[in-house]
Amino acid sequence: MSITREDVVHVARLARLELSEDEIEQFAVQLSDIIDHAARIQALDTEGVEPTAHPLPLSNILRDDEPGSTLDREVFLSQAPACEDGYVKVPRILDDSAGGPGGGT
Amino acid sequence: MTSETALEIARSVRSGDRSAVDVVTEALARIEAGDRDVAAFLRTTPARSLEAARRIDSLVSGGGDPGPLAGVPVAVKDVLCTEGVETTCGSKILAGWEPPYTATAVTRLEAAGAVVVGKTNMDEFAMGSSTENSAFGPTRNPHDLERVPGGSSGGSAAAVAAGFVPVALGSDTGGSIRQPASLCGIVGMKPTYGRVSRYGLVAFASSLDQIGPMTLDVADAAAVYTAIAGHDPLDATSIPDVSPDVKGDLHDDVEGLTFGVIRELSEGDAFDPAVLEAFRRTLAAIEGAGGRVVEVSLPSAEHALSAYYLIAPAEASSNLARFDGMRYGLRIEGDSAEETNRRTREAGFGDEVKRRIMLGTYALSAGYYDAYYAKAQRVRTLVIRDFVDAYSEADVLCSPTSPTVAFGLGERLDNPLAMYQSDLCTIPTNLAGHPAISVWCGDDASGLPIGFQVLAPELEEARLFRAAAGVEALVGFKEPACPGVLPGEGA
């Protein structure tokens, strides 16, 4: 099996997913199957082949820097899980010892 | 009951023979009667729809131009933003979310006179091939309620195949318009990447996603495509050239056209014998009508599926990072911001979405990037080169759209790899960014529809529609299933 239980736990942490024990077991098996299948492309010779990130030959789309209208702040806030005083309210990001905005002084 | 096409409806509304209000009222009544069985719609919007229909009618009575799709009821996949109308992407994480703006494709369809009647069910965030990955329950195939409609645009396909509406919008990242169109016996078209603005399309894999029409026939698909295509400054990946009107190019014949049969996508164990039989019968009909049929090869096609299932999840894992429980959608509070992220995403995402986020995060993570993601991007280049070679021998390419007919509900749910095989024939086009279309080409012995896929080089939509209309003229189109209609009520 190419993907271990430890790999799943590590990747879940990177992806900000809190997986249950059952999910960890299941994903170790399923992701191994998928990755083993996908790994067949490694047999292909791609020496000197440029990667394609995007099918269009477009780059650096520019426009004049003219102010336009924006969407209404109240409309955005109406969709936020929590807000206060015209701002989206989010959990504390810095702990007390880190100082900075929101850090206790 | 009606199997009227969009263009027939628009003609009668524009001439004042029928009111848009009547047309829309009838569509809503058909949905009310039949959608309990099919579950194509997540929600309908009767008040808004009738208000829009009234505006069309007053334009007509005032002598104004109500647009080429006047009064045509349309369904919109729930991955497209509609201002003030809940848009969920089939996910619990967006339940209740009302977007502050409308997707350009929807705005353009409305500007052409079409009336949105509701939002359709889909695999969560467009990840799936059966519409069983919706957090709100599966949609059923109108031609056999025990089978899937395909996916991810299964709700849109079923809404058209059931005869509820003649037109729906879908999105296609690896076949999500064409595969359900095939399984439901309708027409589904994916434009060249960049032809239709992605503004307001909730992103799955940004280098692959494209919005397109799902309709009863090819002429309707061309009309809807013409309405929604064209440059949009709100999408930086929108092609700047003028998008030509393709409606005039439909000649309903295949004479003089060379169809290249893609060998790697039209033989092998993955294919139902009935699918190959219908495909070959259609090729014979093309030859009989003066078209040329040659065999072409896409040697890297067998690796396209693998490359896709590395590239698409990688892009998805990045795109779906925005669902963090902070600015919109679900939030499950934790002791820290990170724990809030984790709890929200654990509760809000379904199995397949988590699987693809994990897969994509793994493929992009330190130590694996070159072996998986970078390698897949090089394989993508090989696929594009193969297409260039193939188009030197043929005007259009073709294959079955899906290796199988509609499969049973639940049949492939526990086996992600088997589910992924559903997209075998559709994925190479997405990697290349080219346009492609699925048209019905017959049924198997139990009456389940089979799709014929036509592919064209980039920006050659006119050629694509011409070839598809030619095939349709030889085969005909499948009548909608019309569930919910009492015997004797059908016209």
Pick the range with the lowest mean pLDDT from A10-24, A63-77, B449-463: A63-77
* Residue B336 pLDDT > 80: yes
Report the side by side order of strands in the sheet with B73-77.
Answer: B41-44, B115-120, B73-77, B167-172, B210-215, B187-190, B436-443, B449-455, B396-400, B258-262, B292-296
Chain B residues in contact with A47 by the CB 8 A cut-off are none
Residues 6+ positions from B359 with CB-CB distance below 8 Å = A31, A34, A35, B309, B310, B313, B317
Return phi, psi of residue B128, to 5°.
155, 170
**DSSP one-letter code for B372:** I
CA distance B138 to B132: 5
* Residue A65 domain-assigned (yes or no): no
- Rounded to two decimals, the ipTM of the complex is 0.89
Q: How far is B203 from chain A (nearest CA, A)?
A: 15
User: Is the CB of A15 less than 8 angstroms away from the CB of B326?
Assistant: no
Q: Which residue of B has its CA nearest to A30?
A: B416
Q: What is the mean pLDDT of residues B279-291?
A: 97
pLDDT at A1: 62
CB nearest to A91's CB, from B307, B340, B416: B340
Which band of pLDDT confidence, cut at 50, 70 and 90, is reported for residue A97?
low
* DSSP secondary structure letter of residue A92: -
What are the extents of the domains in chain B?
6-300+381-475, 301-380
The boundaries of the domain holding residue A17 are: 5-43
Look at B416 and A14 and tell me if their CB atoms are within 8 Å. Answer: no
Assigned domain for A13 exists: yes
Q: What is the per-residue pLDDT across A26-75, written as a single tens digit (0 to 9) for each?
A: 999 999 999 998 888 988 999 999 999 988 877 788 888 999 888 889 99
The verdict on a CB contact (< 8 Å) between A33 and B416 is yes
Question: What pLDDT shows up at residue B1?
Answer: 39
The mean pLDDT value for B442-462 works out to 97
Contact B378 A79 (CB under 8 A): no
Q: Summarize pLDDT for B62-73 with one digit per residue, the tens.
A: 999 999 999 999
pLDDT at B330 over 90: yes
If one counts the domains in chain A, the total is: 1
Domain B6-300+381-475 indexed as CATH 3.90.1300.10:
yes
Domain-located, residue A19: yes
Nearest to A11 among B236, B342, B365 (CB): B365
| Percentage with pLDDT > 90 across chain A | 61
Which one of B97, B336, B371 has the shortest CB-CB distance to A79?
B97
Q: Collect all residues of chain A within an 8 Å Cβ-Cβ radius of residue B330.
A: 81
The tens digit of pLDDT for each residue in B148-180 reads 999 999 999 999 999 999 999 999 999 999 999
> What local confidence, expressed as pLDDT, does residue B406 receive?
98
The pLDDT of residue B139 is 98
End-to-end CA distance of chain B: 5
Residue A59 counted as domain residue:
no
Contacts of A93 in chain B (CB under 8 A): 337
Check B306 against A37: CB less than 8 A apart.
Answer: yes
Read off the CATH number of the domain in which A11 is found. 1.10.20
pLDDT > 90? residue B488:
no
Residues of B catalogued as catalytic? 77, 152, 176
pLDDT (average), residues B342-352: 97
Q: What is the mean pLDDT of chain A?
A: 87
